[in-house]
Amino acid sequence: MTELASIIITTYYRNEWLRLAIKSAINQTYENVETIVVDDSGERHAENVVSDYDVTYIPHDKNRGANPARNTGFQASSGKYIQFLDDDDQLLPEKIERHVEIIRENEDVGVAYCGFFTDEKEGRTDGTSDSRREVHPKPDVRGDVLEQALRMSMHPCIPSTMLIERSVLKSIMPLTPRPARDGIDIRLLLANKTRFEYSDELLLERGIHEDHRGEKPEAMPDMIRVVKDYKEIYDAYDPQIRYQRLETVYRMHSRRLLDEKLWSPQAILSSLKALYWMSKQSYVNVVTVALVFAAVFGKPGYRIASSIYNSTKTR
């Protein structure tokens, strides 16, 4: 008999997509699958949907976040292989079967992942929209991927695209709550424990919705906390990567704030922090330097500086 695979779906007030996610889980070609749905609404919002299917339903008594919901699902699971699935994503039928094969055939690999199809215009893939596109793994994000994880350059390796060997996942549990960038911890900690391999096939339909907060200003503090929380891992590998990431994230934070506000003291502070972390490296980034001056003048200054910079790139 094939080893059990556990598909853990975490959901929060998205019943219209949850039904599709559940169907994609129970329609896997892999023969031995259990499906667990963790309802993080705090009020059993998904119960009516889940009751239509032969799956395990676990409601939280209050909203705790995506990573705590994954922790709950993992504790209730029994599978040798773990597949996390966001409620707005869908697994293609061969996803589990193909990735179990990869892990079985590569004894040093603890994570198998893939690219995905996505429809960014409509927020949902339907196979017909002109905006449907393919997102493939980067050729170098396989094997030892710790450097890429530290640089936060693992896309499209996200929780829904990964199948994880249970013993490897257990070694990094429980996952830390992150309000926005909840997948960063998983990738970094797994990359510090095991090797990765990807399938050439795209085996996920990914939903993109307005409430995805990964690139919004409120997501940046989470990215900063990840770098600080895992300082030991960064510095054991190469402290310069930590400096570079902090410079980049603070610069991104400043730019996102200036995109949304006419003037922002926090944008100025973040640009100064980016400048500080740049100073600890052996190069000068003109974009970071210019951002400090642009931020002082708010959105108008930022737009002028961006226009000048873009014009120099086209010459």
Which of 62-66, 69-73, 228-232, 254-258 is predicted with the least confidence, judged by mean pLDDT? Answer: 254-258
> What are the start-end ranges of the E strands in the chain?
5-11, 33-39, 56-59, 81-86, 90-91, 109-119, 132-135, 163-165, 195-206
What integer pLDDT is reported at residue 120 of this predicted model?
Answer: 63
Q: What is the mean pLDDT of residues 155-169?
A: 97
Single out the residue of 168, 172, 39 nearest to residue 107, CA to CA.
168
Q: Which residues pair with 187 in a beta bridge?
A: none
Confidence of residue 190 (pLDDT cuts 50, 70, 90): very high
Which CATH code for domain 5-206? Answer: 3.90.550.10
Residue 126 has pLDDT above 90, yes or no: no
Instruction: Please identify which residue in the block is written with the tokens 């992942």.
Output: 113
The residue-averaged pLDDT of 38-51 equals: 98
| pLDDT > 90 in the chain, percent | 73
In the predicted structure, residue 64 carries a pLDDT above the cut 90: yes
Q: Is the pLDDT of residue 128 over 70?
A: no
pTM above 0.85, yes or no: yes
Domain boundaries, the chain: 5-206, 238-313
Record the tokens describing residue 293, joined without a space: 């001056």
Rounded Cα gap, residues 52 and 274, in angstroms: 51
Per-residue pLDDT, averaged over 285-302, amounts to 85
